[in-house]
Amino acid sequence: MLPVVNYELVIPLSHSPQFRKFPMITLTVSDMACAACAETITATVIALDPAAQVQADPQTKVVKVKTTVSAEAVVAAIANSGYSPQVV
């Protein structure tokens, strides 16, 4: 007998069709000055939702987040890290 594989457990959440339904949250963070800021912001969002996808660009000040967590919670977490996020 071959072992039964539960693919729901094998497929990462970020690749599941359900995850793709969640909209991209776009924020501007005017005080994201450098790569270290972008890393801090990314780590903050990942701490909130380990399955989140984050793009943080210090050049454009734009942070894009794909997550199951609400935009309000993402904004609050980034603000708690000392930045000033605004939902676009």
Binding footprint of Cu ion on the chain (CB under 5 A): 33-34, 36-37
Residue with Cβ nearer Cu ion (13 or 34): 34
How far is the C-alpha of 57 from the C-alpha of 88, rounded, in Å? Answer: 15
Give min distance, CB of 67 to Cu ion, in A. 22
The strand ranges marked E within 1-88 are: 24-29, 53-57, 62-66, 85-87
Residue with Cβ nearer Cu ion (36 or 79): 36
Give min distance, CB of 39 to Cu ion, in A. 8
Residue with Cβ nearer Cu ion (51 or 58): 58
For Cα atoms 32, 60, 13, give the angle at the middle one, nearest 5 degrees.
Answer: 80
Give min distance, CB of 34 to Cu ion, in A. 3
Element containing residue 47 per DSSP (H, E): helix 35-48
